[in-house]
Amino acid sequence: MQKQQTIKTPVCLSGVGVHTGNKTRLVFTPAPPNTGVRFVRTDIPGLPAVDAVATNVTSVCRGTTIACGGIEVHTVEHVLAAIRGCDVDNVVVELDSNEPPVGDGSATPYVRMIKSAGVEEQDAPREEFVVVEPVWASKDNAAIAIIPSPEYRVSYTMDFRHPTLPAQFVSFTVNEETFEREIASGRTFCFYHEIEALVKQGLIKGGSLENAVVIGDGVIYSKEQLRFPDEFARHKVLDLIGDMSLVGRRVRGHVIAMRSGHELNVELAKKLINVMGRSTSRTVPLRATEGMLMDVNDIKRILPHRFPFLLVDRIIEIKGREKIVAIKNVTANEPFFMGHFPERPVMPGVLIIEALAQTTGVLMLNTPENLGKLAFFMTIENAKFRRPVVPGDQLRLEVDVLRWKTKTGKVHGTALVDGQVAAEADLGFTFV
């Protein structure tokens, strides 16, 4: 289990806010476990705080604004992206105004702050929500979704149909190394024809070519050359990572976005919060139905097997990482009875062993470290077959874990019919 992290020492940065133009001093300070990211307005009596969660978002107009009790903090996405990208869980962000300093329009200044402060592990486990089914949001010709994945990944397609800006696609596994090297330095941008409207809205008061790239007709205005040929798409990923951190805990899944901006990013974050609120585990939630923890639909979210080779109908008991019990109803319509044997149908012993293996897979693959993996047989030992299994029987599949490591596992499986042992074996697996 990974531990939560915070910074070691306070560190500060001064500058102007890109939209408000206000001069601001920002200070990152260490925070205790389970604090999350909390913005504190030091310019207001009582030092009011606003937690960085999607439910506190009040505006997504050209940036993400959070507020609580009438206290606002504008344009938080680059700060949040840097904190998430540097693998920090808990930090207090002190501000003496209502918007963080924009720096060069990227997250690099904040990354440098965190690096200079240092990061330390805390004595508390890090919570992670593992996505087990797609969650999505869309509007007009933009969309965003998150689907199950063994890692946190973001893929972004940008296509504004602008003659100076061709379509761009990027995809990154989000970790500390790739964030700092590939994502953090992407700068904010706007189109030249938008500037007048933004000014009329009271925005970009602190904007300049020092902290933004402007795209005109046939020309790109920038204080320096583009940092990447696809810098604009990378900046969209930067914004998305910041907005997704508003979920309030780590999320494991693959975010796929097309033309998505702050509005859809935040909507997806809110939907994930709702999903987490309905779940009783970080993977497939257990059901409250008496006598059944998972039905066949839950099982299919974990196992890749499908008809005619899915041999587990329901899960009725799970004891931590030590034991699982499943049910397989053997009917006269099983396809293997057509050839085994037409005149005297008997369930093949190897399929009973396979049913035990699939039961093991439900237990071992429904964990954060193994989600999205496959379990392959390594060994079958001490296999014994005590009685035939025929149409009308109900197999009770009991699996006791003997050993469970990162890449391998070993269990003892017993298949019973009416309390009598039909088959048993020791099974070894590897996870790939």
The per-residue pLDDT for range 275-327, each reduced to its tens digit, is 877 554 445 555 544 456 788 888 888 888 999 999 999 998 888 788 999 99
Q: Which pLDDT value is given to residue 290? A: 43
- The predicted-structure confidence for 55-83, as pLDDT tens digits, reads as follows 999 999 999 999 998 999 999 999 999 99
Q: How far is CA 33 from CA 36, 90, 127, in A?
A: 8, 6, 11
Q: Map residue 193 onto helix, strand or coil.
A: helix
Strands 37-41 and 91-95: parallel
Report how far residue 238's alpha carbon sits from residue 187's, in angstroms, rounded to the nearest whole number.
Answer: 9
- Burial letters for 360-385: b for 16+ Cβ neighbours within 10 Å, e otherwise? bbbbbbbbbebbbbebeeeeeeeeeb
Q: Residue 289 corresponds to which tokens in the numbers above?
A: 């139905």
> Can you give the pLDDT at residue 1?
65
Is a pLDDT exceeding 70 seen at residue 368? no
**Other CB atoms within 10 A of residue 345 CB:** 18
Residues belonging to the active site: 262, 340
**Where do the structural domains in the chain lie, given as residue ranges?**
3-125, 130-278, 296-431
The answer to whether domain 130-278 and domain 296-431 are alike in fold is no
Q: Among 87-91, 286-290, 312-316, 396-400, which is the least confidently predicted range?
A: 286-290
- The mean pLDDT of 160-170, rounded to a whole number, is 89
| Angle (deg, nearest 10), helices 108-117 and 77-85 | 40
Residue 13, pLDDT > 80, answer yes
pLDDT of residue 194 exceeding 50, the answer is yes
For residue 278, give the H/E element and its range.
helix 262-278
Q: Specify the pairing of strand 49-51 against strand 37-41.
A: antiparallel
Q: Are the C-beta atoms of 129 and 272 separated by less than 8 Å?
A: yes
Q: Which two tokens stand for residue 113?
A: 């702050």
The top-level CATH class assigned to 296-431 is: alpha beta
Tell me which CATH homologous superfamily contains domain 3-125: lpxc deacetylase, domain 1 (3.30.230.20)
Spatial neighbors of 195 by CB under 8 A, at least 6 apart, are 204, 214
CATH code: domain 130-278 is 3.30.1700.10
Mean pLDDT (whole number) for 166-179: 95
